[in-house]
Amino acid sequence: MKLNILGCYAATPRTLTNPTSQVLEIKNHLFLIDCGEGTQVQLRKNRIKFSRIDHIFISHLHGDHFFGLPGLISTLRLLGREKELHVYGPKGIKEGITLMLKLGDSWTNFPLLFHELSSKIPEVVFEDDNVSVETIPLDHRIYTNGFLFREKEGERKLNIQSVAKFKIDKAYFRNIKKGKDVTAEDGTIIPNKLLTIDPPAPKSYAFCSDTAYRPEIVPQIKEVDALYHESTFLQSEEHLTTKTKHATAKEAATIAKSADVGALVLGHYSTRYKTIDFFKKEAEEIFPNVHLADDGKVFEF
């Protein structure tokens, strides 16, 4: 599971920092999460193939999280895309994007499918044989969701020595990897656990931005491998969180500790700060395994 940070700063783009956008590589999927201005430039800088992105998840309709989407869609059209593109986001995103494309006579040559969200409770919005994605309702100034990505458990691995010991025919291998027992010629049942090895533990990733401190999300993200949580402010500016509906690094760390996550990645920093090092220092007072997102940074879990 690989996380590519394309942008992780709040509000407006700057010459050296970009608003929110990231790509999660998981089980052969490339999921684009949020699409602030400059996302397609960052995709090119980080050598991520546009053509591999089939699903885009937009947390909310503030500009620093989706103003890059019309441009990206237009570029995909110019690149000759033919396969479907799925966009998951709050109700209204379809109207906004399609109006811009129609006014510019730039409607796509490929199927552009919108999945508009309005539920205030978690819901599964994407699922296949390998991965599921569900919403994480957040607390912001407008309707906002985080997203929880979970790998599904893979096939069991053949224990080659055991298979040879029991003289298992290759015709049974497929069913064995699916977890089925084998019946020997004498009628004896050979338990699957004697013939296989556990697959790698499924990975999970939770994206939570933008949001005020919201402990209600803890049960849903319990023990995820990695949590990206916004940390717009340091504790010295905690008084700003109520009005803006953002969180501090300390509050993000408190969520991570309560949920017993594997790792905490901080991001969505206010650009008022000259360095982001203080965010890590503040969070580590609560939770030990803290990482700082930064534009162009890659995490592997």
N-term to C-term CA, the chain: 5
60 is in an annotated binding site: yes
φ, ψ (nearest 5 deg) of residue 125:
-110, -15
Separation of alpha carbons 92 and 90, rounded Å: 6
115 is in an annotated binding site: no
139 is in an annotated binding site: no
Tell me the torsion sign for CA atoms 275, 68, 112, 58: positive
Separation of alpha carbons 210 and 270, rounded Å: 12
Separation of alpha carbons 263 and 270, rounded Å: 22
φ, ψ (nearest 5 deg) of residue 269:
-75, 140
Contacts of residue 122, Cβ cutoff 8 Å, sequence gap at least 6: 134, 135, 136, 137, 148, 220
186 is in an annotated binding site: no
Kindly give the residue spans of alpha helices, DSSP state H, lying in the chain. Answer: 39-45, 63-66, 69-78, 93-103, 160-165, 173-177, 241-244, 249-259, 277-284
Separation of alpha carbons 111 and 113, rounded Å: 6
Kindly give the residue spans of alpha helices, DSSP state H, lying in 108-154. Answer: none
Region of 36 on the Ramachandran plot (φ > 0 left; ψ -120 to 50 alpha; else beta): beta
Q: Which residue of the set 34, 54, 64, 295 is catalytic?
A: 64
Catalytic annotation on 64? yes
62 is in an annotated binding site: yes
128 is in an annotated binding site: no
| Feature table: binding site | 60, 62, 64-65, 140, 210, 268
| Feature table: binding site for Zn(2+) | 60, 62, 64-65, 140, 210, 268
Catalytic (active-site) positions? 64
